[in-house]
Structure 1
Amino acid sequence: MLGEWWGSDLIIDGTPDSELIPEIGRREEELVVEKNTYSGFRGTQLEERLQGMGVEEVIVTGVMTNLCCETTAREAFVRGFRVFFSTDATATSSEELHQATLMNMAYGFAYLVDCKTLRNAFSL
């Protein structure tokens, strides 16, 4: 289905566009969820992995705010996770779409947080 919307603009596994940028600082032991739709949950075993680790809260970051991030956040919410949605570690093709998603999330799906707030919370 994604091909109908994005055609040749799809990111294909194994290409340079599919690689995580080094600045993320991912450690080798950290889980990477490979997906083929907007949702980080659909067909990925993410829910089961999180539950197996005792996770009750998730932080959503990434691109595109209004597609992958929003879909994953909504699914996390309906699956019973408390969701924190980053206002400044998500991005999309326009500020209007970004702000629309933030309004949707704040209206009943997620707590909006910025990176400074997250940094402070984790440094306690």
Structure 2
Amino acid sequence: MNEEKLINNFVLWPFLPALAEIKHRLCGIEVECEPLGLSFDKDVQTEEDMLLTLISQKAFAFDVTNEYGAVWDLRLGPFSKFKARSTKITFPFTGYNPNKRQQISNWVIELCNLEGNVFNGITRH
């Protein structure tokens, strides 16, 4: 989904800050494990579609782990920072853990601009 299309859909405006932040946090992961970058498999039209799409990113079905056993948490920082302090990264598939999905869902909702003003700045959490 391109952001221009998203901006033109007034219903989805509140998701612009969340989309930008997820994009920022996932940046670089596709270099390490190609299919894990941000992707939209279908045309998103509703708030429900957008939320489900954002919390169902392929990267969230993996526990990105480093040589120390630390697991990257999207909510705590970008993948690039996790990678910078790691020498070896693995991508064990864990599936969509309901607990993890709920935490990401709550985080995405916090990032949303529910006042609907597309010009508000993005606050990094």
What range is the shorter-chain TM-score in?
under 0.3
Bigger relative contact order, structure 1 or 2 (CA pairs below 8 A, ≥6 apart): 2
Structure with greater helix percent: 2
Structure with greater strand percent: 1
Under a length normalisation based on structure 1, what TM-score does the superposition of the two structures give?
A: 0.26
Under a length normalisation based on structure 2, what TM-score does the superposition of the two structures give?
A: 0.26
